[in-house]
């Protein structure tokens, strides 16, 4: 197996470079939003397009996303999981992610 290890490293480095370059094209706030949103996409689908029972994000306005995330943080919006997720982000980070999703809807 030792001969395979370097190849795996090359593939992993390539994947990481791709993920970062996808975020770097845009301006500051949106770029940061794309990086933060990569985690959200694991449940909400590529580009926040929705996945099975998990709602799409890319058809929401940026303001709607920020307001809903704040409601999750405050416990004002019913949630199975999003209340816990939302609590990890500052308002500035929520705005950056919302700008990313609102933009990817176009």
Residue ranges binding ligand HEC (CB under 6 A):
39-40, 42-44, 54-55, 57, 65, 68-69, 79-82, 85, 97
- Smallest separation (angstroms) from ligand HEC to the CB of 52: 10
- Smallest separation (angstroms) from ligand HEC to the CB of 92: 13
CB-wise, 3 or 82, nearer to ligand HEC?
Answer: 82
CA atoms within 13 A on the CB side of 75: 0
- Smallest separation (angstroms) from ligand HEC to the CB of 63: 11
Query: Is 29:73 a contact under the CB 8 Å cutoff?
Result: no
CA-based max dimension of the chain:
54
Distance CA 16, CA 95 (A): 24
């Amino acid at each position: 197996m030792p001969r395979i290890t370097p190849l795996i490293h090359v593939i992993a480095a390539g994947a990481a470079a791709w993920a970062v370059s996808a975020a770097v094209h845009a301006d500051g706030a949106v770029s940061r939003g794309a990086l933060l949103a990569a985690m959200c996409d694991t449940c909400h689908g590529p580009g926040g397009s929705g996945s099975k029972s998990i709602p799409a994000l890319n058809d929401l306005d940026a303001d709607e996303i920020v307001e809903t995330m704040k409601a999750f943080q405050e416990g004002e919006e019913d949630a199975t999981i999003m209340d816990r997720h939302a609590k990890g982000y500052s308002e500035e980070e929520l705005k950056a992610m919302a700008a990313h999703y609102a933009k990817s809807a176009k």
